[in-house]
Amino acid sequence: MLLKKIPKKKRLIIFIGVLLVLGFTATSLISYFAAAGTLRIEMTEDILPLTSDNIYSEIQKDLVRPAFIASMMASDTFLRDWVLNGEKESKQITKYLAEIKEKYGLVSSFFVSESTRTYYYAGGKLKTVNPTDSRDRWYFRVRNMEHPYEINVDSDMADRDKLTIFINYRVVDYNGNYIGATGCGLTVTTVQALLDSYADRYQRTIYFVNKQGQVTLTGTNTPPPFTTIPKNISLPDNAQNTARSKTKAISYTRNEETYLLNTRFIPQLGLYLFVEQSIQRQIRQMRRILLNNLAVSIVISVLVLFAISSTITLYQTKLESMATTDKLTQLLNRHAFEILFDQAVQEAERVKRPITAILFDIDEFKKINDRHGHPAGDAVLVSVAATAAEAIRKSDGICRWGGEEFLLLLKDCSLEQGELLAEKIRQSVAETIIYYDGKAIQVEVSLGIAELRKGENQENLLHRIDQALYLAKEKGRNRFESAL
């Protein structure tokens, strides 16, 4: 009974407060029982660095090898001489690429000539690259980059669009002039299988991160905990320094659990190798209670986030509705319509389609208020708004412009089409009988119409429509007039 007397808003605040208290309490208990300093030192100084060294050695063999092969291809005198001699016999380059692919067990080997823009691969000529083709953007990116090579994940057109890790290498002549791009590739599934094998063998989470902090390569069985590294994990400013310092070990907290992370920069790939492990996983048998508390903490955090998210969503939706909707008619208000107008004009200029606007108001509305009362006037406004809204398309806009005035914005609509719609609205309103407090009220509307001129702003358009509406009033009301 006491809880029912508390307002809903305060009940929600109390609910969130209780959850936060429980969450902080659980976090404190977990932090207290997780003081495994000795294990942390051992893992930081011995276990993780050793694992990282072993994985690095295997990566040198399994992944860096294609980068060296691409480098060798880019500096091969046969390749450069063949290009400089005019690419006379394409069978020679095809044979060369096929031998490279077979000899080193690659899934792809290729060369793209700058002079002819021909894409050669082990099976012959694949295509001619084009700067307007989105699938050829990689080539023009490589052509313009300063670094001699890049590693890029893309679809292999020569192998049924399989997702492939390409090592794209710039090829220059003996004077340093760019003459094409060459390289080789590994399928992403191959690399993911390698990472999965490392993870199974060493029982660690292993993934690659680029210099922007984005996770680029990971296994399928042991995905990383994030797609972009969080702020509490910083990459060194100078990747080369990381390479010289061999490895870097840090610890960080995620979901109230401490993780030890060992990073190493692999300059040949231009990526960071991340090897991480949770301390709690090593003491699972000894700290079952600790893991249970951690699970409670995670559940509480999720509940708190859900509660906060629900609250924010609820009030944000309500505020947005209040800011853009007329309370009485539920149409757009003037502020929202001005935003819609700007967007519609930009779209119309882009697609070169006409826009027509209709301004109308209820004839002798003051007499309705004086005779039947303001509540009856409100009922009339609601009815007329609903009638006009039913007559337009979903893509059109309608708002209560002020008082008894309404404004329509009709996309892809000429003046002639707008006149037909205006007549339809006029007729529908005139034929609608509005009943309020047992009394029948019949209303009529006058309308002004104008088509947006090229380069015309909102103020000028509204001025012309207003003049047309004024003319309709002068000519006897219950009619429409068009602005020329």
- CA–CA gap between residue 84 and residue 90 (Å, rounded): 13
Catalytic status, residue 320:
no
Long-range CB contacts for residues 227-236, cutoff 8 Å, separation at least 24:
230/254, 233/261, 235/209, 235/211, 235/263, 235/272, 236/265
Q: How many CA atoms lie within 13 A of 79 on its CB side?
A: 31
- CA–CA gap between residue 76 and residue 172 (Å, rounded): 10
**Which of 377, 367, 342, 461 is closest to 385 using CA atoms?**
377
User: Residues, the chain, total?
Assistant: 484
- CA–CA gap between residue 405 and residue 399 (Å, rounded): 9
The CA-CA-CA angle for residues 169, 175, 181, to 5°, reads: 20
- CA–CA gap between residue 248 and residue 49 (Å, rounded): 9
Q: 256, 404, 419, 481: which one is catalytic? A: 404
CB-CB neighbours of 426 under 10 Å: 20
- CA–CA gap between residue 47 and residue 328 (Å, rounded): 69
List C-alpha distances in Å: 160 to 157, 163, 183, 184: 6, 9, 18, 16
- CA–CA gap between residue 47 and residue 275 (Å, rounded): 11
- Positions annotated as catalytic residues are 404
